[in-house]
Amino acid sequence: MNTILMMQPQGQESNPWMSMLPLLLIIVVFYFFMIRPQMKRQKEIRKFRESLAKGDKVVTTGGIYGRIVEVKETTIILEVAKDVNITVDKAGIIKDMSDVQQR
């Protein structure tokens, strides 16, 4: 076996950090463009759900529009029509009506 082919050229030393640099750069870019924005979005959604109050108009993940009648610890009583109330989990509320374009 020819050992000259396996050896590095003279004058160049193997730096383990230089070989890891592309992988580290990919991880940093992945964090700033994907993980960090997702964590920020989840924090905003959690804050929104904690701030829900009686009388707020909201939309559920299933597309049901309604007005909050009562807020409990993990659920919300939602009025979807006159005298028609449904119980919805807080995690099922996605946005308030101020985000929806008026027609």
Residue 54 CA: distances (Å) to CA of 3, 15, 95: 78, 62, 15
pTM over 0.85: no
Query: Residues 37-54: pLDDT tens digits?
Result: 999 988 998 898 888 899
Quick check: is 1 in a domain? no
- The pLDDT score that the predictor gives to residue 19 is 82
CB 96 within 8 A of CB 60: no
Name the DSSP class of 35. Answer: I
> Which of the listed residues 9, 25, 51 is the one where a domain comes to its end?
51
Residue 39 CA: distances (Å) to CA of 31, 35, 42, 73: 10, 6, 5, 23
| Lateral strand order in the sheet of 93-96 | 84-89, 75-81, 65-71, 57-60, 93-96
Query: Do 100 and 59 fall within a single domain?
Result: yes
Counting the structural domains of the chain, the total is 2
What averages of pLDDT result for each successive group of 10 residues across the chain (103 residues)?
54 72 89 89 89 91 92 93 94 73 51
**Which helix H or strand E contains 58, and what residues bound it?**
strand 57-60
Quick check: is 40 in a domain? yes
CB 52 within 8 A of CB 71: yes
